[in-house]
Amino acid sequence: MILGLKVDVCSYDGLRVGVPNLLRLFAGHGVRASFFVALGPDTSGRALVRALQPGFLAKMRRTGAIRTYGLRTMLSGTLLPPRHLGHRLASTLREVVAAGHELAIHGYDHRRWQDRIHRMDDPAVREEIDRAVTLYREISGQFPRGFGAPGWQCTAASLRVLDRAGFAYASDTRGTGPFFPRVAGRRGRTLQLPTTFPTLDEVLGLDTPDGDGFAALVCRQLTDRPWPVLTLHAEMEGAGFLAAADRLLARLRQAGAKSLPLEVLAERILQEGEGRIPVTEVVPRPIRGRAGTVAMPAGLEVA
């Protein structure tokens, strides 16, 4: 039983504090993962413009956002200047690779992508991705294999640009299994590996009062998906919920699950034959525990 393990790194402190914590934890459990990092400025404070979206404030209360993310992050890019992840924490990014994990791209300006992608045309999306790729190559000396859209937000424009950019795979969506996106009637070239499980911040205070119940929830769903992908967040499981992440990895090991980076998962899926992979449109859908909508493959949606 294999599991694609993905860590989204959305903020400066997520990379500064959460990623080193997770590197030590993963080493102790002998697991490998993909770290998707937003490489540009941390403008997390601009998330407050979403306060009018149904469910946003409720999620902030459930997850104890101020305690979880810290006041510095919650004011970053508004009352306080943004801190640049790739410029100031390049050494931490290199530690990810040195530890045997995959370093992938989670956009450039996480907040800008999540809030504005649906108003961005192909050139604007291309600029955003090109800035992240350029910085990635400066830091690592290589071209990234994976891309993961911030907030699981993608559009026809972003899917087209990803195809032209030459990524081996993307993880932009939520769904029950891998697929190729169909855009304007044509099959895209970039394999999509959706996150198949709920995330901790979505179930906290709803399906579990704390982080402990998250492990049981994931293990119950482990055999429901043919190519499962679990997303952790450096700001959650890498900080205040590190002990819960420890218990989660222990439970997964006991269940016989082997955690792998998404680049390895993508290779195994493609080896079984592209003809077996569904092709479908990407559509916006609501998801329990999260404000607004996320991108999902039509016919392969999750609740």
44 has pLDDT over 70: yes
Rounded Cα gap, residues 126 and 157, in angstroms: 9
Instruction: Give residue-wise pLDDT tens across range 147-189.
Output: 999 999 999 999 999 999 999 999 999 999 999 999 999 999 9
> For the segment 206-242, what is each residue's pLDDT rounded down to a tens digit?
877 677 789 999 998 888 888 999 999 999 999 999 9
Q: What is the set of domains in the chain, with CATH numbers? A: 2-244+257-297 (3.20.20.370)
Q: Where are the alpha helices (DSSP H) in 141-184?
A: 156-165
Q: Is the pLDDT of residue 58 over 90?
A: no
Q: What is the mean pLDDT of the chain?
A: 92
Q: Give all strands (DSSP E) within 84-178, no chain letters.
A: 102-105, 146-147, 169-170
**Burial group, residue 229, by CB count within 10 angstroms (0-12, 13-18, 19+):** buried
Residue 52 pLDDT greater than 90, yes or no = no
Residue 177 phi/psi, 5-degree rounding, is: 180, 170
Check whether 61 has a pLDDT greater than 70.
no
Question: Which pLDDT score, from 0 to 100, does residue 266 have?
Answer: 98
Whether residue 50 is predicted with pLDDT greater than 60 in this model: the reply is no
Angstrom distance (rounded) from CA 212 to CA 233: 16
pLDDT at 208: 74
Mean pLDDT in residue range 112-123: 97
Structure letter (DSSP) for residue 101: -
Distance (Å, rounded) from C-alpha 80 to C-alpha 64? 21
**Confidence band, pLDDT 50/70/90 cuts, at residue 46:** confident
| Mean pLDDT, rounded, for 51-64 | 58
How much is the pLDDT for 9?
Answer: 98
pLDDT at 191 over 70: yes
Out of 3-7, 216-220, 245-249, least confident range = 216-220
